[in-house]
C-alpha cells in the first residue's frame, strides 16, 4: 500500500529548470543525456536533496512562500516502498512524535521542506564541476560523504 499515493509534491518554480536539466525523463517526455542528467526521475533528485539536507544539517524553512508547480505525483512512492519508510522516519525524527505516521500529507510536507532546503546545495554540487560529467561528479561526491 502506498500511503502517499494521493499526495502531490509541489516544488518552487525556481528549481524547475534544474529538474529538467538533471533528470533523464523530463516533463515533456523527452530524454536527456545520462552522463549530464544523473537522475532517472525527478523523485530521485528530490529524494537526494532531502537526504543531503539531513546529512549536512541544513534546516528547512516551513514558512517559505513563492510560486510552485506540481512536480512529483505521490504515486511514485508505490514503486519504491523503502522511500516511504525513510520519509516516515524523517517525519518522526523531526517531530519527535510517532503519531505523525498516520498523516501522509504532513510527512510529505516535512520531507518536501527538507528537499527544498537541500536543493540549492545539490544544484551547486552538480554545477560546480571541472571537466567531469554530472554523473561522475555526483557519484564521487556521494562516495566521499558516505565513506
Q: Please answer whether residues 38 and 138 qualify as being in contact, where contact means their C-beta atoms are separated by less than 8 angstroms.
A: yes
Separation CA 72–CA 117 (nearest Å) = 17
Separation CA 147–CA 62 (nearest Å) = 31
Separation CA 21–CA 126 (nearest Å) = 10
* Chain segment 68-116, per-residue pLDDT in tens: 999 999 999 998 889 999 999 999 999 999 999 999 999 999 999 999 9
Separation CA 93–CA 50 (nearest Å) = 14
Beta bridge partners of 70: 10
Kindly report the pTM of this predicted structure: 0.92
Amino acid at each position: 500500500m502506498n500511503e502517499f499515493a494521493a499526495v502531490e509534491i509541489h516544488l518552487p518554480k525556481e528549481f524547475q529548470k534544474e529538474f529538467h536539466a538533471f533528470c533523464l525523463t523530463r516533463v515533456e517526455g523527452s530524454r536527456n543525456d545520462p552522463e549530464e542528467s544523473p537522475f532517472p526521475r525527478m523523485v530521485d533528485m528530490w529524494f537526494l536533496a532531502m537526504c543531503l539536507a539531513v546529512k549536512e544539517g541544513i534546516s528547512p524553512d516551513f514558512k517559505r512562500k513563492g510560486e510552485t508547480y506540481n512536480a512529483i505525483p505521490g504515486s511514485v512512492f508505490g514503486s519504491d516502498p523503502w522511500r516511504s519508510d525513510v520519509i516516515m522516519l524523517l517525519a518522526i525524527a523531526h517531530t519527535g512524535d510517532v503519531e505523525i505516521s498516520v498523516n501522509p500529507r504532513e510527512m510529505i510536507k516535512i520531507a518536501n521542506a527538507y528537499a527544498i532546503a537541500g536543493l540549492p546545495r545539490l544544484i551547486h554540487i552538480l554545477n560546480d564541476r571541472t571537466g567531469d560529467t554530472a554523473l561522475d561528479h555526483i557519484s564521487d561526491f556521494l562516495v566521499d560523504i558516505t565513506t
